[in-house]
Amino acid sequence: MTLEVIIGPMFSGKTSELIRLVEREVYAKRKGAIFKIAFDKRYSAKQVVTHNGLKYDAYTVASSIEGLHKIEELVVSQELDAIGVDEVNFFPEALVGVLDRLADTRRVIACGLNLNFRAEPFPTTMQLAARADRVRYLSAVCVVCGQEATRTQRLIAGKPAPKDSPIIIVGGKEMYEPRCRTCYAPPV
């Protein structure tokens, strides 16, 4: 079948596109489901939710090898034809092998951030993109100048987060902004 990866900065519509593609599969009378990381409870613990409020029920799994086994077990036990995985950047790199294998027999759609707040690639996202049959690269709109945004700026009290901040901090508009290459301020 196929492995499709949707990548881009925050606020580029990755989760909206993931939901749209899984809903198409379900509309075509195929069994589909979406998986999300358990610690991402920004808008809902049991649904993937876009920043603009679009929702879709999801299985939640841990960011661990056990969580990856749960994905494989549910795919088999529920006889899923198509699966979506949201925020792959939060998962361990072992997810790459799991989704690559699953794509041999079903449609797999994964979405995740391209770069962290330091403008460094997320390994799991990029490894999946390298193995994908199709990559959709989405961009957002820079909140500073209105140009195409390909980076995510993390802010603390309105200023760029320091470089030594943790890579993963779950948040939304209160903490992150899409920025273009010119308006992005590298952390120091």
From 37, 31, 27, 108, select the one nearest 77 (Cα to Cα): 31
Whether 87 is catalytic is: yes
Question: What whole-number distance in Å separates Cα of residue 113 and Cα of residue 121?
Answer: 8
Asked whether 45 and 60 are in contact (CB, 8 A), the reply is yes
Question: What whole-number distance in Å separates Cα of residue 30 and Cα of residue 82?
Answer: 7
Helix (H, G, I), strand (E, B) or coil at 151: strand
Question: Which is the catalytic residue, given 4, 17, 25, 87?
Answer: 87
Sign of the C-alpha dihedral computed for residues 125, 16, 61 and 66 taken in this order: negative
Catalytic annotation, residues: 87
